Chain A
Amino acid sequence: MACIEARGLRKTFGSTVALDGIDLRVEEGRILGLIGPNGAGKTTALNAILGLTDYQGELRVLGRNPWTERDLLMRDVCFIADVAVIPRWLRVSQALEFLAGVHPRFDRAKAEAFLAKTAISQTSKVRELSKGMVTQLHLALIMAIDARLLVLDEPTIGLDILYRKQFYDSLLNDYFDRNRTIVVTTHQVEEIQHVLTDLMFIDRGRIVLSCTMEDFEARYLELMVLPDHLAAARALKPIHERQIFGRNILLFDKMDRNQLATFGELRTPSIADVFVAVMGNHAGATTPQGVTR
């Protein structure tokens, strides 16, 4: 069974189209990165998956209809929707008690063990915690839930670099296993490149690119071209070109590796670079120059 399956998923706000009929299939045990500019429809898509918003089209999450069965779905799904949604008046101990009281898959001992290794005191109220600590608390609660789908919407906003790195490391090494599925959106694309198994670019409510990371690595190549070969390399129609320290960096899609290797140094591009190239071309193809949303 697919973890998430959507067909013709559509959502409009007045005349604004947030999701323009997307098809989506996420198998169990994948880590999917949903990447897109602001207003692309990422959060709307996640909200639909989590039963937070109504939609048109078909959508099943773990075999359930999220809009009508949210409470049942949430036994198997966890999410961090945005920063600082834990109510400020709540005490840490109350958060633990409440989760233990309502969530059949919450392991209080696990959450307490995690909290014990942070500076968060159980008697503190959320309003007394720093931004980073609130996120730590939320993560401690989420990680102690034995869920099948974890949805993270910009999970590391407000965290320092050290903690962000550890967050993704522990997500991969300790939390993730073959039975769990993770969907993550973030603007800090470079941090999750090594974590993902699947990648999806979304722009103006449409899926622009959807592939596994293996496909991504096989498909996109970045060439740091030697000056002598620049014209020849350009003739192969790179999808993007940029300059760093006077060197030209050309990005190719579906090009023969051996052929390119003769023009200079080859490497796998970062998601961010491919994102810029794909989004740039996508925007240029459908809207007048300079119009981005």
Chain B
Amino acid sequence: MSSHSSTMPEFFGSQRTEPILSPTNPFMWSLRREIWEYRSIYLAPAAVAAVFLLGFLVTLVHLPDKVRAVQGIDPIRYREVVAAPYDFIAGLMMLTGILVSVFYCVDALYGERRDRSILFWKSLPVSDLTAVLAKATVPLVVVPLVTFATALAAQSIMLILTSVVFLANGLSVGMLWQQISFFQMSMLLLYHLFAAHALWPFPVYCWLLLVSAWARRAVFLWAILPLVAIAGFERLLFHSNSFVMMVATRFIGAAHSTTMTGPDMFPTNPMTHITPFRYLGSPGLWMGLFVAAAFLFAAARLRRDRGPV
């Protein structure tokens, strides 16, 4: 900063013309900024999918033998052999999505206070509510979409690779594609991601955002401690576990109302019978969303009140 520093003046030339107001979209840009900052939102699923694909490549070596052993003899075993990896990658992506969302929400409103950048963001005409809503959109919309897209990309690659192996070994590609029922599987995954991994646990993510806006340190601990305390209290006084059950149901319990299938069936299994109306009609969903809205509103208030940590 020496040779170039003699250059400052002439720019700020401000012949004051009438101010032209450019069109803006604070919400959209706030959302983009989240994706710029938290690159793990898409890098983590991509990395997990890449590692899985490597492993899948290795298993392809033995696949033709396994298929020959069951083809035309045991249709159920056939489906298990060829379709299992697709369910597995979908499940893996779901798990990655949950982890990404949890870690994102814990840091989203804390990180900007820790690195003092909140002062920069607050110097711009973006309201606290807009900023908080943009952050809440990440677990609600961005992560499910990224999870879906990554799973879809991985499954497409898998299907192409498997088809090539089948062709090379003289196995029926038609039968393979029939068993995989790719489109149906993808739509079921998309439904499941939004219904069971975004909307249903949304109050949990909003709770994490709230604590992230409040805590001065150890966000994760502060997010968990009150839950443990309430659960312990209930156990001690009433000898019951209803609070623990309620929280647990929030995280993993949506499957009961999203579909009508056996408990062991994978959500993207083509035999799954989805029940979106029952899901949308369940009071639990709407109660959860109401609580989530309250958490978000409180988080926006806290963002205004709290300065850098």
Which residues of A are interface residues toward B (Cβ below 8 A)? Answer: 47, 50-54, 67, 70-75, 78-82, 84-91, 94, 97-106, 110, 113-114, 117-119, 130, 132-133, 136, 143, 146, 159-160, 162-163, 166-167, 169-171, 173-175, 177, 179
Check A103–B120 contact: CB distance below 8 A. Answer: no
Within 8 Å by CB of B1, from A53, A90, A163, lies A163
Check B122–A70 contact: CB distance below 8 A. Answer: yes
Residues of A within 8 A of B115 (CB): 87-88
Interface check B36, CB cutoff 8 A:
yes
Q: Which residue of B lies closest to A131 (CB)?
A: B1
Residues of B within 8 A of A80 (CB): 123
Within 8 Å by CB of B36, from A70, A89, A113, A118, lies A89
Measured in the bound complex, the distance between the Cα atoms of B19 and A159 in whole Å is: 31
Q: Which residue of B lies closest to A80 (CB)?
A: B123
Check B130–A71 contact: CB distance below 8 A. Answer: yes
Check A81–B119 contact: CB distance below 8 A. Answer: yes
Interface of B is mostly: helix
Q: Which residue of A lies closest to B39 (CB)?
A: A89
Measured in the bound complex, the distance between the Cα atoms of B2 and A132 in whole Å is: 10
Measured in the bound complex, the distance between the Cα atoms of B43 and A68 in whole Å is: 38
Within 8 Å by CB of B14, from A47, A101, A174, lies A174
Check A102–B29 contact: CB distance below 8 A. Answer: yes
Q: Which residue of B lies closest to A162 (CB)?
A: B5
Check B5–A74 contact: CB distance below 8 A. Answer: no
Interface check B10, CB cutoff 8 A:
yes
Measured in the bound complex, the distance between the Cα atoms of B117 and A50 in whole Å is: 15
What is the 8 Å Cβ interface bit string for chain B, positions 115-130, against chain A (1 contact, 0 not)? 1111110111111101
Check A54–B119 contact: CB distance below 8 A. Answer: no
Task: List 29 A–B pairs whose Cβ atoms lie within 8 Å, in order of A's numbering.
Answer: A52-B119, A70-B304, A72-B125, A73-B125, A74-B125, A79-B123, A82-B116, A85-B117, A86-B117, A87-B120, A89-B37, A98-B29, A98-B32, A98-B33, A101-B32, A102-B25, A102-B29, A103-B22, A103-B24, A103-B124, A104-B24, A105-B22, A117-B7, A117-B11, A118-B7, A143-B11, A160-B5, A162-B5, A174-B10
Measured in the bound complex, the distance between the Cα atoms of B33 and A242 in whole Å is: 55
Q: Which residue of A lies closest to B115 (CB)?
A: A87
